[in-house]
């Protein structure tokens, strides 16, 4: 997830005559004003979506306006294609942590070795303003952009850039203009998964029921609210045993376990020294958590932190800095096929 605060700084810089950076966000009503290449697709000559309507799909906006349709990208709508197969088997390429950069590149992260590997670039209709990501048991990365829309890519697609598919999600819930997300198994005995959502409204918005947890129906892609929560900004990760966790709060940040069916808080663990003010994401793997954070006023590659959550290292749930990522990470997806126990 990428903070509105830092994006606001980048947009301000882009207004300076000597800094021709593209504005982030899209014109959600489909009426693009900047079509520099003259092909009528609403993108400029570099393929960036115009943001001349005030950036409803970018920082500070809702990601949609009443009556608007999702941003037109020219990508054929395929439907969800998320019908669970018998037994919900694990596809290839679902055993690691997968991360999404702020400019739309997809990487894998191996918690055992601590190494990153480039997979492919992602260009869904020219959009580059990535926001969050989840990964399903089918080996698909579900990617959200700042306009609130969702696209999917196959982790096993060998092409680069990888082909984007439009499952047909409509961002029309005011509690979820954008959202952190993760796939979570139904239960220990039912490995089939669903995509859960955490409000992405504002980093500074905290208080009773200012945010919400939600779940997306695998077939209809309707996003339903589970319960109100006290944070309107956060990321999610889930497990193959049906547990749901959130990385929330600016300073201090916290790790919260929620009941995925009711939204009730099960447990809270402080994350001293970690902030979610810029770009942040996290993933459960092998009984522990791997957290990716980038802080400060300038764009920097993410730091990778390890939380010995199950205390398998006899560290009293120590939080340690492992390494620095090769990119700035805004989304981390781990399928429910990932190892649930220490490796």
Considering only CA atoms, which of 106, 4, 26 is closest in space to residue 325? 106
CA distance 280 to 268: 18
- pLDDT given at position 297: 67
Return the ∠ at Cα 283 (arms to 278 and 287), rounded to 5°.
140
- pLDDT given at position 74: 67
Q: What domains does the chain contain, in order, with CATH numbers?
A: 97-334 (2.120.10.30)
Please tell me what DSSP assigns to residue 23: P
Considering only CA atoms, which of 128, 123, 171 is closest in space to residue 150? 171
Per-residue pLDDT tens digits of the chain, which is 343 residues long: 766 544 444 433 333 323 322 333 333 333 333 444 444 443 333 333 322 232 333 333 333 333 344 444 667 677 666 666 778 899 988 999 999 999 999 999 999 999 999 999 998 888 878 999 999 999 999 999 999 999 999 999 888 888 899 998 999 999 999 999 999 999 989 999 999 999 999 988 999 999 999 999 888 899 999 999 999 999 999 999 999 999 998 878 999 999 999 999 999 999 988 877 679 999 999 999 999 999 776 778 999 999 999 887 777 788 999 999 999 999 999 999 998 777 6
Q: Is the dihedral of CA 277, 59, 78, 170 positive or negative?
A: positive
- pLDDT given at position 80: 61
Considering only CA atoms, which of 100, 143, 92, 88 is closest in space to residue 283? 100
CA distance 144 to 337: 22
- Residue keyed to tokens 């982790």: 155
- pLDDT given at position 45: 34
- pLDDT given at position 12: 36
- pLDDT given at position 4: 53
CA distance 331 to 292: 9
Secondary structure class of 189 (helix, strand, coil): coil
- Residue keyed to tokens 């309507």: 53
230 contacts 210 by C-beta, under 8 angstroms: yes
- pLDDT given at position 19: 31
pTM: 0.80
Considering only CA atoms, which of 335, 330, 334 is closest in space to residue 104? 330
- pLDDT given at position 326: 97
Parallel, antiparallel, or unpaired: how do β-strands 288-294 and 303-307 relate? antiparallel
Buried b (16+ CB within 10 A) or exposed e, 153-190: bbbebeeeebebbbbebebbbebbbbbbbbbbbbeeee
Q: Which residues pair with 284 in a beta bridge?
A: 289
CA distance 95 to 145: 25
- pLDDT given at position 312: 77
């Amino acid at each position: 997830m990428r903070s509105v605060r830092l994006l606001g700084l980048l947009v301000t810089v882009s207004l300076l005559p000597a800094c021709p950076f593209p504005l982030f966000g899209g014109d959600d009503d489909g009426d693009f004003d900047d079509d520099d290449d003259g092909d009528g697709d609403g993108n400029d000559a570099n393929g960036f979506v115009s943001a001349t309507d005030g950036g409803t799909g970018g920082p500070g906006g809702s990601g949609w306006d009443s009556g608007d349709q999702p941003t037109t990208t020219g990508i054929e709508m395929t439907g969800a294609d998320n019908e669970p197969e018998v037994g919900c088997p694990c596809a290839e390429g679902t055993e690691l942590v997968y991360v999404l950069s702020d400019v739309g590149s997809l990487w894998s992260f191996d918690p055992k070795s601590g190494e990153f590997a480039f997979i492919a670039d992602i260009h869904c209709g020219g959009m580059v303003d990535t926001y969050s990501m989840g990964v399903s048991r089918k080996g698909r990365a579900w990617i959200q952009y700042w306009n609130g829309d969702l696209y999917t890519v196959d982790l096993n697609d060998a092409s680069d850039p990888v082909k984007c598919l439009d499952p047909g999600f409509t961002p029309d819930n005011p509690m979820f203009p954008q959202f952190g997300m993760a796939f979570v198994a139904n239960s220990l005995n039912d490995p089939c998964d669903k995509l859960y959502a955490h409000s992405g409204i504002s980093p500074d918005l905290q208080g009773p029921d200012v945010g919400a947890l939600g779940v997306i129906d695998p077939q209809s892609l309707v996003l339903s609210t589970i319960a109100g929560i006290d944070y309107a900004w956060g990321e999610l990760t889930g497990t193959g045993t049906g547990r749901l966790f959130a990385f929330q709060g600016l300073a201090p940040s916290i790790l919260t376990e929620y009941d995925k069916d009711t939204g009730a808080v099960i447990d809270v663990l402080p994350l001293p020294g970690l902030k979610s003010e810029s770009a942040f994401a996290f993933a459960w793997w092998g009984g522990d958590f791997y957290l990716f954070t980038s802080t400060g006023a300038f764009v920097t590659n993410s730091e990778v932190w390890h939380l010995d959550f199950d205390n398998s290292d006899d560290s009293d749930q120590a939080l340690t800095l492992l390494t620095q990522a090769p990119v700035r990470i805004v989304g981390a997806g781990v399928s429910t096929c990932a190892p649930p126990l220490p490796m």
